[in-house]
Structures are given as structure tokens and as C-alpha cells.
Amino acid sequence: MEPSLYKYIWRYSRQEQIGVLSLVLMSAPFYFFSLDLPKQIVNLISGAAQSGFVSPPLLPAVIDLPAPVGPALGMPWVLFGGFTADAFGTLVGLSLIFLGLVVINGAFKMVINTRKGRMGERLLRRLRYELVDRVLRFPPRHYRKVKPSEVASMVKDEVEPLGTFIGDAIVWPAFLGMQAVVAILFILVQSVFLGAIACLILAVQFRLISYLREPILKLIKKRQIQARELAGRVGEIVDGVADIHVQDTSNYERADISKRLGIIYETRFEIYQRKFFVKFVNNFLANFTPFIFYLLGGSLVLNGSLDVGQLVAVIVAYKDLPNPIKELIDWYFTRRDVTIKYEQVIEQFQTADLLDGALQKPIGTAPPLAGAVDITSLSVTDDSGFQLLDALTLTVPLNQAVAVVGPAGCGKEAFGALFARQHAPSTGSIKVAGAELQSLPEGITGRRIGYAAAEGYFLPASLRDNILYGLKNEPRAGSNAGSASMAW
């Protein structure tokens, strides 16, 4: 699997990401015009009350920049003079255009959110499928090292936040960044002085909030590990509940769980304290800038350096600016948190001796096995290094019945488990019908070699389903109807 979350996202959603990014770029001009219209409406209303007022043209196309840049370039540049109308007609036209831009901007946001949400859910489905696929390919000895409850928790819960973030990984910072850049450029066009102040405060806000949220990220990682250990501990209790009752250790187990829950509570409470303090600081900084605008911007209006419409437009533009900045900060820390979760999950599913996926591919009809079982200098050791079989050499025709007998611990259990590939040879080889047993696909070993162990697993289903389970070698028509439509 891809070790990097972003490489994984880009590999499986490149075309969709580019498509949504195109929508983000297309929405930028409409967002800019929606910021400029309040200024025109306010200037129209305030100017109409004055004598000798001449209604400005409707929908002019003019390119202009504030002094000293604009005059130095010979601006304004008039591309289209606009339509002539009286004050009331112009007001109605501007208001309808503003309403139309609100609808257009909302439609862009709806489509972008819908497409990135679908993209995230599709990749989450793929990721979960790949994790379960790797579980089915774990070597037998690896199953003894992992706890089923922890594996299930990772597949179900720990990758859940990835579904939301995968859609946001590239598109969301681009969309929020577009809104922030457009709003800042708009403020700079109205007043370079006010725009510089806004940029300075935003830079301080981003740096300070990032610094304050750093410990929160570490606490979230700590909480995740604690929750995973709790799930594993509960799984141990369920597996060993009979021994717990026999040994009278139920109160000991309750005390252990209570201690773990207390540790998780303390961690979560500290996260809440820090998180709401950061929220308080962020809200203060977000409302401090309008205070500066009212004070200094109002002074510029009184001095005649800025008109009322421009000041209102700056305040309106900045009103929408803190939210994208805040969400960008949230996205930044979510990215780090989710990246850590992805790396932790992938690490748990990485093993050097993972079974080759080709061994589990459907093969159609399994040919019958003929010939003999040839075992040459075969040795098998368990996880602790204990020798189960040592230098075993044997040839058994497949048309004979053979019984392996001996006292407990003599290796007879390991000998039977060899044919089900529950143990892998440490040295030597075992061939069935002339082929290496370890290289035979499961489509052959599963249908031509039967194995019934004393610790066999009974499915939580009917007796009929358990008896016929060995016949479910491939999906039957209708049993996985949705799998055919999975466009991964």
C-alpha cells in the first residue's frame, strides 16, 4: 500500500481532483463580483440623495487599481461602458445581480461539496476493502500477533475520518484559499492600507492558532492509542470470560477498565480545555480586525481618502474572511491528524511475508491432484523458535490412507497443519503432485485438500451454512450484486 496518504489520494482520484479544482477556479470571478456589488449599491444609495446626482452605468467593465499603481499604468481601463438607467432602475438591476451571484456562488459550493464528498466516500470504500484484503493475506503466524477487536476497530473506526478528509485533501484548501485570496485582493484594491492591516492580523492569527493547537494534535494521537488499547482489552475480557468467572477476577477486570476509562477521560478533558481556549483566541482576533476597520477606515472616510461604499465593501469582504482562514487552520491540523492515523493503520497492516495476492485469485475449475506427497528435509519452528518438525523426509502416494500417531507434542499436529498451510516450512520443501505446496493457489488447495482441526471455527450462521461454506469458492450471482457496480 502507498505509505503516503497524499500519494494514495492522488493515485486513485487524480481526474476527479482536477475536475473539482476546475470548478473552484471558475467560481473565483463570481465570488469577487459578489464582494464588489455592495460597494456599488451603497454608493448609489448615498449619492442619490445629493443634488445633481447622475446615475452610474449598469454593468460596466472597468479594470482599475488603487494609487499609485493604477494611475502609473494609465488606469482605469474601460472595456465596456455599461447600460444607462435611472437611479431606481440601476438599484433594481444591481440588487437582482447580487441575488443571482448569491445563487451562483451557492450552486458552485453545493456542487463542489457534493463531488468531493462522493470522492472521499469512494476512496474510503477502496481503503477499507484493501485493508480487509490484506487481513485475508496475512501469514498464519501473524494472526497470533494481532487482536481481532483492534483490527476491526482500525478498519471500521480509525479510517472513518479519512473518508471526509480525502475529499478535502486537495480541493478544500484550494477552495478556501481562493476565497481568502480573492477577499484579500478585493480589500487591497479598495485600500492598500486597510488590506495591509488585514494581512498582518491574519498572519498573526494563523501563526498563533497553529502554535496553540500543536499540543492538541499530540493529545488526539495519545487518545487514539488509548482507545485502541481499550478495545483490545475489552476483546481480551470477552475471549477469556470463562476463566474470569472461574478465577474470581471480575472485580480486577472492572478496576482495570475503570482505570483505563479514567485515563481516557483526563486526556479528552484536556483536549476540550485547550480546544475552547484556542476558539476564544481565534474569535477575539477575528473580531479585532473589524474594530480596526471601523476606527481607521472611518477616519479615512472623514478625511475623504475613502468613500463609504468602499469602507462597507471592505467590512463585508472581511466578514467572510475569518471563516475560510479558520477552516484552513482546521484543515491543516486535520491533515496532520489524519496523516498520522493513516500511517499508523498502514503500519499495522504491513508485514514482510504477506501472501501473494495471485494465490487467492479465482481459477475456475480446480484440477484433481494425482501422484504423491514428497517431503524433503522439512523443518518447522513456531513463533518462539521451538522445533515442531526436524529434517522430515517422506513420500506418501495420494491414493493411500495414512495415520500419523504419537504422543502430544511430537509434531503430529504441525504435520497436519502443514497441508492447510497453517505452518510454513523453515527449511526443506513439501510437494503435492509435483508442485510446491506453498506455490499452489488456494483455488486448488481449498478444493482438493481438506483440513479439520480441533479448534475449528464455527460461523455465526446456520448449520447448513457451516456445512456448505466450503462450496462458496467464488461469489454467486446475486450474493454480491453491488460489487459489479463498484467503479474503483
Q: What is the CATH number of the domain that holds 113?
A: 1.20.1560.10
287/177 same-domain check: yes
59/198 same-domain check: yes
Q: What is the mean pLDDT of residues 400-408?
A: 82
Which has more pLDDT, 39 or 259? 259
HSE-CB of 35 using CA atoms within 13 angstroms: 27
Which has more pLDDT, 277 or 89? 277
> Cell 480573492, residue?
182
Q: What percent of the chain has pLDDT over 90?
A: 10
Task: Give pTM, 2 decimals.
Answer: 0.71
284/226 same-domain check: yes
190/283 same-domain check: yes
pLDDT band at 115 (very low <50, low <70, confident <90, very high): very high
Structural domains of the chain, count: 2
Q: What percent of the chain has pLDDT over 70?
A: 90
Reported as a single tens digit per residue, the pLDDT across 20-29 is 999 999 998 8
31/155 same-domain check: yes
Domain end, chosen from 290, 323, 348, is at 348
Q: Is 50 exceeded by the pLDDT of residue 179?
A: yes
108/191 same-domain check: yes
Reported as a single tens digit per residue, the pLDDT across 465-483 is 888 887 787 766 555 544 4
294/426 same-domain check: no
Q: What is the mean pLDDT of residues 425-429?
A: 84
409/287 same-domain check: no
Domain end, chosen from 322, 348, 374, is at 348
CA pair distance 373, 396, nearest whole angstrom: 5
- Its domain, for residue 420, covers 357-485
Reported as a single tens digit per residue, the pLDDT across 336-363 is 888 888 888 888 888 777 778 777 787 7
Reported as a single tens digit per residue, the pLDDT across 261-297 is 999 999 999 998 998 898 888 888 877 877 887 888 7
Q: What is the CATH number of the domain that holds 392?
A: 3.40.50.300
Residue from 111, 116, 120 nearest 5 by CA: 120
Give the H/E segment covering residue 292. Answer: helix 250-292
367/324 same-domain check: no
376/267 same-domain check: no
**CA dihedral (85, 86, 92, 95) positive or negative:** positive
222/326 same-domain check: yes
137/108 same-domain check: yes
Residue 31: predicted pLDDT: 87
Domain end, chosen from 348, 367, 400, is at 348
